[in-house]
């Protein structure tokens, strides 16, 4: 893709904030930091609308919990058209980590994530929001 240059005027304190971000996140330069912020804004805006988006649902749970896996499987089947892949890792004797790659309307993906994360016994659950563009 063609890269275009443009000048940006910023107040000193805002420029200071930008440079702190560059340092904290270890961006190679200010351009990369500004690129990151614009893309982050676009992704968040898409997830607020009902556009088609992509992301991942991450779940950590104890597989000995009664019915947890049955319930999770049932919810996933109800939204099977959104699920691209499921990766299951046995973390240790008790705990499992599941990463579910998803693509579809933002509203339905949130609904799926909420239903999975709220299953009794899930220790940690998170929806990672991204885009496929």
Nearer to Ni ion by Cβ, of 51 and 67: the residue is 67
d(CA 10, CA 22): 15
In the bound complex, what is the minimum distance in angstroms from residue 63's beta carbon to Ni ion? 5
In the bound complex, what is the minimum distance in angstroms from residue 127's beta carbon to Ni ion? 21
Tell me how many residues contact Ni ion (CB under 5 A).
Answer: 2
- Any residues with CB less than 8 A from the CB of 95 and at least 6 apart, and which? 60, 61, 62, 63, 123
d(CA 76, CA 111): 11
d(CA 98, CA 100): 6
Nearer to Ni ion by Cβ, of 69 and 130: the residue is 69
Nearer to Ni ion by Cβ, of 65 and 110: the residue is 65
Q: 72-91: which residues touch Ni ion (CB under 5 A)?
A: 90
Contact 88, 68 (CB under 8 A): no
Select from 96, 101, 111, 117 the one that contacts Ni ion (CB under 5 A).
Answer: 96
Q: What is the 3-state secondary structure (H, E, C) of 98-127?
A: EEEEEEEEHHHHHHHHHHHHCCCCEEEEEE
60 touching Ni ion, by CB under 5 A: no
Q: Which residues are at the interface with Ni ion (CB under 5 A)?
A: 90, 96
């Amino acid at each position: 893709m063609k890269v275009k240059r443009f000048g940006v005027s910023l107040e000193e304190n805002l420029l200071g904030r930008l440079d702190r971000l560059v340092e904290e996140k270890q961006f190679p330069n200010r351009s990369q930091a500004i690129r990151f912020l614009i893309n982050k804004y676009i992704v968040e805006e898409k997830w607020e609308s009902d556009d088609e988006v992509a992301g991942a649902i991450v779940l950590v749970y104890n597989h000995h919990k009664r019915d947890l896996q049955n319930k999770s499987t049932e919810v996933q089947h109800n939204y099977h058209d959104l699920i691209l892949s499921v990766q299951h890792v046995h973390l240790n004797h008790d705990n499992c980590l599941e990463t579910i790659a998803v693509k579809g309307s933002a509203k339905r993906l949130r609904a799926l994530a909420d239903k999975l994360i709220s299953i009794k016994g899930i220790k940690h659950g998170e929806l990672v929001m991204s885009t496929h563009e």
